[in-house]
Structure 1
Amino acid sequence: SLSESLSLMSHRVYAIDYESTWARNNVFDFGGLATREFNNVNRACPGASVSLRRPGLIKIPGLSRLSAGFTHYLEIQKTIKDRNIDAIILYSVPTNGLQAIHLARKFNIPVVFRSIDILHRLVPYPILRPIVRLLEKKVYSGADLLLPHTPKVARYLIAMGAKEAKVNLLPLPVELDLFRPFLDSAELRHKWGLGEQDQIILFQGTLYHFSGLDLFLHQFPTLLEQVSNAKLLLVGDGPQRPVLERIVAQLGLQKQVIITG
């Protein structure tokens, strides 16, 4: 990840995130507004050390995001003051986007927005998507630099109000110390039923409904007519998975399509 890579370059990195998978421990657990801190966090890069701050929230649907907007503002402000922050790298819009833009202006700190999703389309409640889309426009126009991971996302940012001069393409990198194509993958191939001669198409990511994978699956039989040893490997999980599994069963592609979860 970008934050862990910066940590490995000897930068002090503080991540402030929203606990999207919150759950009540009991019927009386309504959360709280205190921030929890986790030190020396890393997920992708061994040796990285990120300080994770998770502001509190009210554990009631609807109020969780609203309360988090308040606690995130306070935590961002506190971190800027206490840790002498040089720059803010922003991924989010609805929870802390405008808060970060406002505080960056207040403390004269540059904001870099790393764009890897069409954020308003991730909102589970359709009635709220236009509001988040409006917030996106505000954040994109206020960021000092925007780093999309694909040309299509770059065009989307510009269409949403970002100045073209501030949009710089930054494709997702490959960490060669972790992903080594010359390692013996026989055990992994056997686990997922992949032959040595199979031509593997890989998708890695969250299975959202806008992924286009359902459309691809419907076209996959045509591809198999041309490349009979093709296999589709979907690494990830998400709300679209039941739909994809149903399509795979309907088309009889159980041997050609593997969803690992």
Structure 2
Amino acid sequence: MPMKVLHILDHSLPLHSGYTFRTAAILREQHRLGWETVHLTSPKHGVAAGADADREEWAEGLHFHRTPHTPLRVPGLGEWTLMDALTRRLHQVAAETRPDVLHAHSPALNAIPALRVGRRLGIPVVYEVRAFWEDAAVDHGTSRDQGLRYRLTRGLETRALRRADHVTTICEGLRQDIITRGIAPGRVTVIPNAVDAERFQLGGTADPALKAELGLEGCRVLGFIGSFYAYEGLDLLLQAFPRIHDQAPDVRILLVGGGSQAEALKAQARDLGIADQVVFTGRVPHDQVNRYYDLVDLLVYPRHSMRLTELVTPLKPLEAMAQGRLLVASDVGGHRELIRDGETGWLFPAGDPKALADTVLHTLARAADWPQVRANGRRFVEEERNWPASVARYQAIYRRLTGLGEAARAG
């Protein structure tokens, strides 16, 4: 009998995010290992309750069970009703599919229902931490650092970590934080972020028509493609740009995407007098993203230093390396786990616009080094940060919790 794992998720495809891309990669690799997987999303995926609610959906070749739910707009109670709805739906799906393992993915709002159902049905629970919800809420402005909601959320996460049969996480920074909460090191395993290098083609040639349309003809381009959250540090890139432009007048900035900081960044560009040198495209269709990447000479990831960025490794630098692209990034902990300064990219001290400007200028002036750095980055993801190597780490965890590996060997 193949291993059967029921994954409990915050949201999934067809929504596109780093969270959903990691999930899809894990599921597909587990299928290649011969395991059977079942997938359930929480009410946060966004399926309203009702007689005609879609309780199942296929997306990009993967089947998902949904949890219809009408949120309760009462402060402090909404999360509890969400967990209750997910508990009921999870119990139903688990009773029907009879998995060997319940694998809950961040946040704790998914882990607590998994623990409830796991205890009732006698199924071991793995909890995977991709980030701490309380830290993300601080950056998004929905919670105050060390405020009541922050402390309650942190307490809920710690409770889930202590009760889970095993904990997995995406990087060493998060692992160390989990251990400080009283979790034995042997119960915490890193399943690092990775990429499927074969799904990423090496960067192509810039489309002259698109370059002309955006006013970037004859320019060298610094770029960022993604969501404009405050922690991404795009304000720092704008602060650094006048110094860059003084010494390299042909340089422009291309910002592709949108998010909570979009209007503030546009206002900052106007205040700095650089609005005519910064191109905001807005969000672009997913199948067109590579056309914009191909316009960029140097990707910039200037994340600010905060708990979230010091602890969590992002996917974007890995995806950039898989495409053989060049990148400059701040030296926050999440970047230092991925980027080898001067070898696969370049790092600068976080929060320092002068250092960012100088690193960009130094990199632009060293074009002779670019081919080797591109090759080093591609080799890093092919040899060290690939999904087969990453997902294989689940095997020992699942086998120990279920005894299925021992049973197979005995047979």
Q: TM-score, normalised by structure 1?
A: 0.74
Corresponding residue number in structure 2 for 1:213:
234
On the 8 A contact 1:90/1:112 being kept in 2, the answer is yes
The letter of the residue matching 1:18 is P
Give the number of aligned pairs.
245
Within 5 A, what are the aligned runs for 1:122-141? 122-123=136-137, 124-126=142-144, 127-141=148-162
RMSD: 3.4
The 1-side partners of 2:119 and 2:175 are apart by 24
On the 8 A contact 2:87/2:116 being kept in 1, the answer is no
Q: Which has the higher helix share?
A: 2
- CA apart distance, 1:108: 2.8
On the 8 A contact 1:57/1:65 being kept in 2, the answer is no
Within 5 A, what are the aligned runs for 1:66-105? 66-105=80-119
CA offsets 1:185-230 (integer angstroms, 9 cap, x no match): 41554454445762433342x3333333333432343344555554
Q: Percent identity?
A: 17
Distance 1:163 1:242, change over 3 A: farther
On the 8 A contact 1:151/1:169 being kept in 2, the answer is no
On the 8 A contact 2:218/2:250 being kept in 1, the answer is no
Corresponding residue number in structure 2 for 1:18:
43
- CA apart distance, 1:81: 1.6
Gaps of 5+ in 1: 24-30, 43-47
Corresponding residue number in structure 2 for 1:50:
63
- CA apart distance, 1:4: 2.5
Distance 1:189 1:56, change over 3 A: same
Within 5 A, what are the aligned runs for 1:120-159? 120-123=134-137, 124-126=142-144, 127-143=148-164, 144-148=166-170, 150-159=171-180
Corresponding residue number in structure 2 for 1:249:
270
On the 8 A contact 2:230/2:261 being kept in 1, the answer is yes
- CA apart distance, 1:257: 5.0
Corresponding residue number in structure 1 for 2:25:
5
The 2-side partners of 1:191 and 1:152 are apart by 42
Using the TM superposition, name which of 123-132 and 222-231 deviates more.
222-231
Corresponding residue number in structure 1 for 2:223:
201
Higher relative contact order (CA 8 A, sep 6+): 2
The letter of the residue matching 1:70 is D
Corresponding residue number in structure 1 for 2:124:
109
